[in-house]
Every structure is written in C-alpha cells, then in structure tokens.
Amino acid sequence: MSRIDELIAEHCPEGVEFRAIGDFAELVRGNGMPKTDFMESGVGCIHYGQIYTYYGIWATETISFVPGTKAERLAKVDPGDLVITNTSENIDDVCKAVAWIGDVQIVTGGHATVLKHHQDPKYLSYYLQTPHFFVEKKKHATGTKVVDVSAKSLAKIRIPVPPIEVQREIVKVLDTFTELEAELEAELEAELEARRRQYQYYRDVLLAFRDQDVRWAPMAEVGDFFRGRRFTKADYVEDGVACIHYGDIYTQYGTAATKTVSYVRSNMASTLRFAKPGDLVIAGVGETVEDVGKAVAWLGEGEVAIHDDCFVFRHSLNPKFVSYYFQTSAFHAEKNKFVARAKVKRLSGESIGKLAIPVPPIEEQERIVAILDRFDALVNDISIGLPAEIKARRQQYEHYRDRLLSFREAA
C-alpha cells in the first residue's frame, strides 16, 4: 500500500468528499490590464494569455509588471491563490490554471479569475489538468469562436477535496514525477535537435553536388512561374475547392502535401488559378527574410487553388527534389539577396526565376529524395523515432497524474 493509500484509508475510509469550487473558495474575476500597461519593473502581474504560453502548474516569479497606480484597481493574487483563465480559442485550453506561490502579492486582469482558498494550491492546479475536470468544464462552456467558462459557472463545478495531508502527499509525488519527466523530455528534445541539425547538414551536402558534374540552371530556364489569384479566409468553407493559402505553407505543410487543410467556395472556381500535381507552390510573402520563399510540392490527385501571395513553379523535375532544395542553406543564402525588406518581406516571381537550381539526372533526383524522405521521417514523423518517445513520456506522465487524482466519492 502506498503512502497516499494509507492516508486515504486513515482520513477518509468511506471515500473522498466532492465539493463545488464555490463552496470552499472565493472566486474574484479580474478586469482590465492591457499589455500596453506592462513595464520593466513594478507590481508583478499575470496576464491570462501568458498562462497558455509561459506558465506551468505553479509560479514563483512573474514575467510582467504594471505600475503601482495601475495595480490598485486590478484583482489581487495572494501567495497560494490560483489564477484561472476564463476565455480561450478552444475548449482544451479554457480554465487552465497557475498556482501563485511567490512571496508577494501580485495582480491579474481580465479574462482571468482568482481562486482564493485554503487547499494545497498545487493540488488544485494539478487537478484542473485532468480529464475529469475537462468533462465538467465542458458542460459549462459557452461560445464557439471564443470559448468562455464564467467565474459563476466555475464555482458550480464539483471536484474531489481530500484532506490536506492527502493533497500534500499527492503534490509531493507529482512534483517529483513532473521534474523527472521534464528532465527526460529536455534530454530527448536536445537529442531531437541534434538529429535535426544532422539531417539539415546531410541534406545540404547531398544537394550541394560538390565535385560532381551537375548542371545548374536558373529556375526560369527549367520551368514556368505564375502567380495565384486572391481569396480570403472569409471565403473558406468546409467542403469546396481545395486551396493553399500562403500562410498555411508556414504552419500546415512540410516538404510535400497530398491534401489541403482549407477549401473555398465552389462558385469561385472560375476566378482562381490552380497548381497541378507535381507543381511547387512557393510563398511569396512572409514575416521574416528566412520564411519568405518556403515551398511545398503539391502531390494531390487533382488541381489545387493557389493564393495570390503564392507562386506556382511548373517543371519536369522531381517535385520533392525541388522542395528539398528550397530548404537548403545554399538556396536561402541566394534567395535572401532578392527579398524586399519592407515590413512584410516579399519575393517576386522574377527574382525566384533567377535563382540557380541543380539539375541532375532524374534517377539521381529520385535517389536523393528517397534518402531524404527516410531521414525526414526519422526526425519529424510523430509516429516513429524520438518525437514518438517524447509523446509517450508525456502520455505516461498524464496517465499517472490522472490515476493519482481519481478518487472514490464519499456517499
């Protein structure tokens, strides 16, 4: 029998009491606090958006501060309080919490609720990550584009409240497990990054063709370029004309794609331009010099509509060979010379056409693609290799956490 089992048997042999959050805690809704109020020093503050992107289960320091005069009108967060988000873009993130265990009082703003209580703060924060809590918060969630769980609704959710001795023992175990998981994950991430660097080096060497008699030619000589036609995200539908938006090339696609993530209205088809299977789709704009010019080989069965900030390169080369070459350091070094460096970085079709590309025999192109495909899968495919190991460790931790936080309810 574990120490936790012994404590439960001693303090709550008939089961653990489940209570509505509002019955054992005071919920204080935050207000205001735009990021324009932030300064380098002052009163520590936690912005609700930072709970998604920066903070974990608990925090002892804040990354942001507001002036004392601004802090006076904001919701106060005392050591031991929880800060819980009330709004999010999706149901998974809403109600994410961070336990404040720093030494001083801080503040929070809108879209967040401060939970004041006499429980173990880490215990509550851990519990708010569990599937059991997810099921309950989902019942109270409203909205579609922006999901909201109000403080009033949060107060109604029932959660297990074991004796404080049990809570502290659970926290001790989960803190240890979290630390071990984080250390292992950091080691795996470092190994994965090393593999990625190795892959990038090998790819660059393969596609440099040093000491090989390979023809290099301007891209305009080995294929044709044309620009897509404009459509906006307001034109998106669930089922219509398959399309590739330039922004999706950065966020959704890798070296090649056989399906699109977006579709536009079918009645727009006559106004659009299309890439054919085997074409390369190139992003003509980007937020950084490094990003602009990212490409994806279209290998789907039919044609796909292309956004007007994209270029289509139609050619007779192996499409993945060209896409892989677009990822090399040599290509980026040449491409960067032609990027217009305004607020939004741009690359013209004429400029891309001037960039030289190696043109080895098709058999050599296919051999290189086969090698890089295998290496790319080992590094990036979530189902194999180190990424799968990282995913497995996270799942193992979550499973263990959820088991520790599951209780038989007292009658």
Q: Is the pLDDT of residue 22 over 50?
A: yes
Share of the chain above pLDDT 70, in %: 99
Query: Which CATH number goes with the domain that contains 248?
Result: 3.90.220.20
Q: Is the pLDDT of residue 321 over 90?
A: yes
Element (H, E) at 250: helix 246-251
Of 172-186, 324-338, 397-411, give the range with the top mean pLDDT.
324-338
- Cα–Cα dist 235/214, whole Å: 45
Question: CB neighbours of 80 closer than 8 A, spacing ≥ 6?
Answer: 99, 100, 101, 117, 121
Note whether 106 and 150 are same-domain residues: yes
Question: CB neighbours of 36 closer than 8 A, spacing ≥ 6?
Answer: none
- Cα–Cα dist 185/261, whole Å: 30
Q: Is the pLDDT of residue 154 over 60?
A: yes
Note whether 105 and 173 are same-domain residues: no
Which pLDDT belongs to residue 383? 62
Q: Is the pLDDT of residue 299 over 50?
A: yes
Q: Give the residue-averaged pLDDT of 143-165.
A: 94
The domain total for the chain is: 3
Which pLDDT belongs to residue 1? 45
Which pLDDT belongs to residue 377? 84
Q: What is each CA distance from 294 to 192, 278, 313, 317, 349, in whole angstroms?
A: 22, 16, 12, 18, 13
Note whether 174 and 47 are same-domain residues: no
pLDDT tens for each residue of 277-288: 999 999 999 888
Which pLDDT belongs to residue 295? 96
Note whether 199 and 292 are same-domain residues: no
Which domain covers residue 238, as residue numbers? 215-359
Which pLDDT belongs to residue 144? 81
Note whether 152 and 188 are same-domain residues: no
- Cα–Cα dist 265/241, whole Å: 6
Which pLDDT belongs to residue 122? 97
pLDDT tens for each residue of 242-266: 999 999 999 999 999 999 999 999 9
Note whether 122 and 185 are same-domain residues: no
First-to-last C-alpha distance (Å) of the chain: 23
**Count of CB atoms within 10 A of residue 384's CB?**
12
DSSP 309: T
Note whether 95 and 59 are same-domain residues: yes
Question: CB neighbours of 239 closer than 8 A, spacing ≥ 6?
Answer: 263
Q: pLDDT category, 77, cuts 50, 70, 90? A: very high
Which pLDDT belongs to residue 189? 82
- Secondary structure in 3-state letters for 320-376: HHHHHHCCCHHHHHHHHHHCEECCCEECCHHHHHHCEEEECCHHHHHHHHHHHHHHH
Q: Which residues of 63-93 are buried (b: 16+ CB within 10 A; e: fewer)?
A: ebbbeeebbeebbbbeebbbbbbbbbeeeee
Q: Give the residue-averaged pLDDT of 212-231.
A: 94
In a domain, 12, yes or no: no
Note whether 84 and 172 are same-domain residues: no
Note whether 125 and 204 are same-domain residues: no
Share of the chain above pLDDT 90, in %: 76
Token couple for 133: 């809590």
pLDDT tens for each residue of 337-356: 999 888 888 999 899 999 99
Note whether 154 and 204 are same-domain residues: no
Q: What is each CA distance from 398 to 178, 373, 401, in whole angstroms?
A: 10, 32, 5
CB 397 within 8 A of CB 173: no
Which pLDDT belongs to residue 382? 64
Q: Which residues of 110-132 are buried (b: 16+ CB within 10 A; e: fewer)?
A: bbbbbbebebbbbbbbbbbbbeb
Strand order of the β-sheet with 280-283 is 223-227, 310-315, 280-283, 295-298, 256-257
Q: Which residue has the tokens 């503040």?
A: 107
- Secondary structure in 3-state letters for 367-407: HHHHHHHHHHHHHHCCCCHHHHHHHHHHHHHHHHHHHHCCC
DSSP secondary structure, 82-98, as one string: EEEE-EESSTTTTT-EE
Q: Is the pLDDT of residue 180 over 90?
A: no
Q: What is each CA distance from 206 to 21, 169, 338, in whole angstroms?
A: 60, 55, 25
The mean predicted confidence, pLDDT, of the chain is 93
